[in-house]
Structures are given as structure tokens and as C-alpha cells.
């Protein structure tokens, strides 16, 4: 399967690293936003063709699908253009930064019938899969998810420490992970929300701290704290408080409430959540089915994010 990678930044590199472990997939074109970094990324990963023109990159011979890791504000435009060009798409999280754009993506997917997937990696991390399997088997029920998403980003830099051409957002990107995961793990709709945000950054124009509360239809709650002001350990840490145990997930690792590590190495074929996400995308294309974390499934999360934004305003 020939792939077009759209985006040459930090997350594009994460996908390109993951794709090296997946057989029968070849990245044949790279679409970037700046000439120097796009050329260097193509050289690093031996991608035979690179361009700054989306239409040209998608039109390379044999391209069947695209993975979009470009800046969030252009996800919807590029995703819809790719589907209009007949390509299956995976759009990295968040698939957009407005509910209107998310709906437009879903409309394009329905019109074209192509596979369109949102990059909700947490569904695929072995740590969260282990919990999900226990819930499906009736062995666990979530009482509360306590989640901390902490970074130190007082300058507009990406995960590689490089200047960004756009501004990341605690709500539309980082809270998106948790809102989706809470609904996915409980298997329930979110019926109530609470939200507060701290002061706006004078240059970035975004809130640097947020507190979010969610409640599912049968009473599970989620408490989410987010900050770009945290000068300490970075990342997102999930505490599952269940009726039958407490578990702490840190990306692909899982611990019980006593900080004893749980072996999740046999949960799936890899310990890399991004690789597993990519594998699901390709499998859905080959099998002609809706993927886990399809854009249609992700739309309810975008609706909750829109609701949270209105509450904070």
C-alpha cells in the first residue's frame, strides 16, 4: 500500500518511525510546510518524492491513503481534499479545532465512502487496551478517571523544541484525548460537563491552565487537569479508579494502585500505540470496514469539546 505522509514535523516523524515496523506499506510521497525541513525529513526516511503542494503529493502514482500530521488548523481542509482526491485518510488528533470543521470531515467521509480515521492513540496504547479488555469482560467498572496532562510550553515550540507556525491548544488537542478515552472506556455518553480556564497567555492568546469535569450517563466521572505551566515531568497520566482495583496508565505502561507494573506486552503485536493505530488504519482499508476511532465515532468528542469551550467562555 502506497502512502502519502502530510506533515514533516514531530508527529510526522513518530508515524514514519512506526511505519518502519509495518510490512507491505510504503511511504512514496511527503507533503510538508517548509522546504528545508521537508527535504531533510524525506532524506532521513528515504522517501522518494517530497513537495509543498498537497495536490501534487496526493497525485503520486499508486497513492492509496494519506496520514495527516500537519498543523491542526489545516487538518480539515487537507483531510477533505484528500478524500475528494479518492484517498483514505487518517487525521491526527485533533481532526479539527472546531465542531463545524469536524462535521465537514464527517460529511465528506459519508459522501465518499472512504476510510477516515481520527488519531485517537489512547484507544490503542496497550495500557488502555488492557483496561478496555477487562471492562468488556465484565471484570472492571470505572468509578472515576483522574487525569493529569502537563507540559511546560510558555513558548510556541513543538515536541522537538522547534518553533511552531501555529499554536497548540489544551482543549482542542490535549483534552481531546481524555474526553474520547473516557467515553470509549466507559462505553457511555457524556451527559454533563464542567470547565474552568486560567488567564490567557499574553502572546500565545490561549489559556495555559484548565480544569475539566465530565460525567457519563450511568454516573462515572472524569476529573481532568491540564497545564502548559508545569515545570516537571511531562505527559498525560491516567488513574483509573474502578470497582475492582485502581490502575495508573502512563502512555504504553500500566501500574496497579500500589505502583506495581503490569505486563501488557502480550496485549497486542506492538508496545507502540502509534504503530497500533496505524495498523488499524491499514487493516480497515484492506478489509473495507469502519476503523476503531473513525471520524464518525470521534464526532461526539468534538461535540463535547465545543460544549466545554462554550462553558469556559
Query: Residue 263, by phi and psi: left (phi above 0), alpha (psi -120 to 50) or beta?
Result: beta
Q: Residue 83 and residue 75: Cα distance in Å, rounded? A: 12
What is the pLDDT confidence band of residue 166, given thresholds at 50, 70 and 90? low
CA distances from 4 to 27, 42, 62, 154, 155 (A): 6, 12, 10, 33, 31
- Phi and psi at residue 62, to the nearest 5°: 85, -5
Residue among 135, 300, 40 at smallest CA distance from 308: 300
Task: For the beta carbon of residue 86, count every other beta carbon within 10 angstroms.
Answer: 11
Q: Residue 157 and residue 144: Cα distance in Å, rounded? A: 33
Q: Residue 83 and residue 203: Cα distance in Å, rounded? A: 36
pLDDT tens, position by position, 52-101 = 999 999 999 999 999 999 999 999 999 999 999 999 999 999 999 999 99
Inter-residue contact 75 to 96 (CB < 8 Å): yes
Question: Residue with C-alpha cell 474526553?
Answer: 179
Task: Give the distance, in angstroms, between the CA of residue 46 and the centroid of all CA atoms in the same chain.
Answer: 25
Q: Please give the pLDDT value at position 202.
A: 87
Q: Please give the pLDDT value at position 51.
A: 98
- Phi and psi at residue 6, to the nearest 5°: -110, 110
Q: Which domains does the chain have, with CATH numbers?
A: 2-121+274-292 (3.40.50.720), 125-267 (3.30.360.10)
Inter-residue contact 126 to 268 (CB < 8 Å): yes
The structure's pTM equals: 0.94
pLDDT tens, position by position, 112-163 = 999 999 999 999 999 999 999 999 999 999 999 999 999 887 776 666 666 7
Cell of 63: 497513492
Amino acid at each position: 500500500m502506497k502512502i502519502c505522509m502530510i506533515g514533516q514535523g514531530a508527529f510526522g516523524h513518530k508515524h514514519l518511525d512506526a511505519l518502519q515496523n509495518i510490512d507491505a506499506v510504503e511511504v512514496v510521497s511527503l507533503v510538508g510546510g517548509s522546504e528545508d525541513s521537508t527535504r531533510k525529513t524525506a532524506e532521513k526516511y528515504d522517501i522518494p518524492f517530497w513537495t509543498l503542494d498537497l495536490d501534487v503529493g496526493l497525485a503520486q502514482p499508486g497513492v492509496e491513503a494519506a496520514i495527516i500530521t500537519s498543523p491542526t488548523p489545516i487538518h480539515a481542509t487537507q483531510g477533505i481534499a484528500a478524500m475528494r482526491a479518492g484517498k483514505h485518510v487518517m487525521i491526527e488528533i485533533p481532526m479539527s479545532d472546531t465542531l463545524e470543521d469536524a462535521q465537514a470531515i464527517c460529511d465528506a467521509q459519508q459522501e465518499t465512502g472512504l476510510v477516515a480515521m481520527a488519531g485517537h492513540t489512547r484507544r490503542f496504547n496497550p495500557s488502555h487496551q488492557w483496561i478496555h479488555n477487562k471492562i468488556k469482560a465484565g471484570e472492571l467498572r470505572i468509578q472515576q478517571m483522574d487525569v493529569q496532562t502537563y507540559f511546560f510550553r510558555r513558548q510556541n515550540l513543538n515536541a522537538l523544541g522547534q518553533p511552531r507556525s501555529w499554536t497548540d491548544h489544551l482543549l482542542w488537542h490535549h483534552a481531546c484525548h481524555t474526553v474520547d478515552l473516557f467515553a470509549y472506556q466507559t462505553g457511555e455518553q457524556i451527559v454533563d460537563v464542567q470547565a474552568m480556564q486560567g488567564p490567557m497567555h499574553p502572546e500565545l492568546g490561549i489559556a495555559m491552565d484548565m480544569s475539566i469535569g465530565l460525567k457519563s450517563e450511568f454516573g462515572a466521572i472524569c476529573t481532568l487537569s491540564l497545564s502548559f505551566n508545569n515545570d516537571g515531568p511531562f505527559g498525560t497520566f491516567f488513574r483509573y479508579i474502578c470497582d475492582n482495583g485502581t490502575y495508573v496508565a502512563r502512555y504504553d505502561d500500566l501500574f496497579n494502585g500500589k505502583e506495581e507494573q503490569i505486563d501488557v506486552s502480550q496485549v497486542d503485536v506492538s508496545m507502540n500505540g502509534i504503530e497500533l493505530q496505524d495498523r488499524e488504519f491499514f487493516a480497515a482499508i484492506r478489509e473495507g470496514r469502519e476503523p476503531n476511532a473513525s471520524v464518525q465515532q470521534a464526532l461526539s468528542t468534538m461535540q463535547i469539546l465545543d460544549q466545554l469551550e462554550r462553558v469556559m467562555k
